[in-house]
Amino acid sequence: MTTLWREVARGLGQAERTIALVERCRPLGVRAEQARLVAGWERGEALAPRWQLAAAPDLSGLRALLDGVADRVELLGGVGPLYAARARELSIEAELAERIGEPDFAERADRRFSVGQGHDSDAAEAWATAWSHAPIGPEPTPQVETDDDTRGDSLLSLMRSAVGELRLPFRVTVSPDLVSAAATGDGVIVVRGGCRLSATESERIVHHEVLGHALPRVRAALERCAIFSIGTAQGSDDEEGRALLIEQRLGYLGDQRRAELGHRHLAALAVRRGADFVETVRLLLEVGAPAAGAVAIATRVHRGGGLAREIVYLTALSRVTRCLETDPESERFLERGRVAVGALSTLRELEDAGAFAPLAAE
């Protein structure tokens, strides 16, 4: 059985790398197009984007394989249902990758990154509304180019320093076309070049990426059970929620950051309710976002035709916060990989049964 789980884990890991949904959704030449859009909106012109997207792949064979794996391993018990749920989640992502740029993409994306119902979705929308309308002070100064490796306080330098100090097996690279300030993948943290951030904002991003994303990946590699590395269904969502909780604990959720998160959530909600790019920018301008910020956020939520992954951040923050308020001991699972709150009870049962070892001592 151990050999079977290794093969399943290897296959799911390869499937995730092949699908690469978020990367495939990223527009080509985003930096130049955003500059055109911002200039237009600042002049009062309601410009729509002329995004170029990479050709959508044919992943029908991979989807069939993932669905078949899910059906088989779910019946095996133990960790099987967790692998099955993750395989089905990846199958949905594969279907989305095939539909990038199509008119129904945003509607289909709701299957993976859903508005949802209940306490956490309500809390997320309430936070977003309140934070978006809160008064915001001026941008902190001075600001430094994110990819200036001659400055010790640039995002690139701070990220490389943190990775080096913790001896994490990650490369830190630069991309001018990243739609977020930074992103963590397998063995790499990518920093967006060509923009300016304050030292405090750069420090926040470093803590978010290193403590919230990179370190759990390193810990996951120490586990006997690969589900921590492969991730449970919704594991990457709740990892984002915990990363925001880390920011909050460290005092980084100030007015500027909360306004940004609020704007992103409201924009993602608008996409789910059928808003196009121009309507999304107008909404953001109405709630106080500057033109540059409104265009940047609209670009994020409309990736691929309306991925709107940003809708999970505040919802997951509420879910993870509630979980840890009632059961603080749960964090020892959440910090070990891409683990969803909904998988905790199963993981506890498996660990109590000796199915896998706890985190190795650091």
pLDDT for position 225? 87
* pLDDT of residue 1 exceeding 60: no
CA 324: distance to chain centroid? 20
* pLDDT of residue 358 exceeding 60: no
Whether 336 and 229 have beta carbons less than 8 Å apart is answered as no
Neighbours of 318 (CB within 10 A): 21
pLDDT for position 126? 97
pLDDT for position 140? 65
* SS3 call for 323: helix
- What residues pair up with 182 in beta bridges, in sequence order? 191
d(CA 72, CA 6): 15
Element housing 236 (H / E): helix 235-249
| Average pLDDT in the chain | 93
What is the pLDDT averaged over residues 12-30? 94
Q: How confident is the model at residue 361 (pLDDT cuts 50, 70, 90)?
A: very low
* pLDDT of residue 360 exceeding 50: no
For 157-181, the pLDDT digits (tens) are 999 999 999 999 999 999 988 889 9
pLDDT for position 61? 97
pLDDT for position 136? 66
Please state the domain extents for the chain: 2-352
d(CA 134, CA 139): 15
What is the pLDDT averaged over residues 264-282? 97
* pLDDT of residue 89 exceeding 70: yes
With 0-12 / 13-18 / 19 or more C-beta atoms within 10 angstroms meaning exposed / middle / buried, residue 48 is exposed
pLDDT for position 275? 97
* pLDDT of residue 142 exceeding 80: no
* SS3 call for 185: strand
pLDDT for position 115? 85
What is the pLDDT averaged over residues 236-265? 96
* pLDDT of residue 357 exceeding 60: no
What is the pLDDT averaged over residues 129-149? 82
Q: How confident is the model at residue 6 (pLDDT cuts 50, 70, 90)?
A: confident
Phi first, then psi, for residue 174 (nearest 5°) are -125, 140
Share of the chain above pLDDT 90, in %: 84
Whether 214 and 185 have beta carbons less than 8 Å apart is answered as no
Tokens standing for residue 146: 């994110």
* pLDDT of residue 183 exceeding 90: yes
Residue in the structure block whose two tokens are 């990479």: 54
* pLDDT of residue 137 exceeding 70: no
* pLDDT of residue 359 exceeding 90: no
What is the pLDDT averaged over residues 238-262? 96
d(CA 164, CA 145): 21
Residues 6+ apart with CB under 8 A from 141: 198
Phi first, then psi, for residue 22 (nearest 5°) are -65, -40
Phi first, then psi, for residue 71 (nearest 5°) are -65, -40
From residue 256, give the alpha-carbon distance in Å to each of 145, 226, 261, 296: 19, 38, 9, 15
CA 33: distance to chain centroid? 23
d(CA 355, CA 33): 51
For 46-86, the pLDDT digits (tens) are 999 999 988 999 999 999 999 999 999 999 888 999 999 99
* pLDDT of residue 284 exceeding 80: yes
* SS3 call for 156: helix
Region label for 266, one of left (φ > 0), alpha (ψ between -120 and 50) or beta (otherwise): alpha
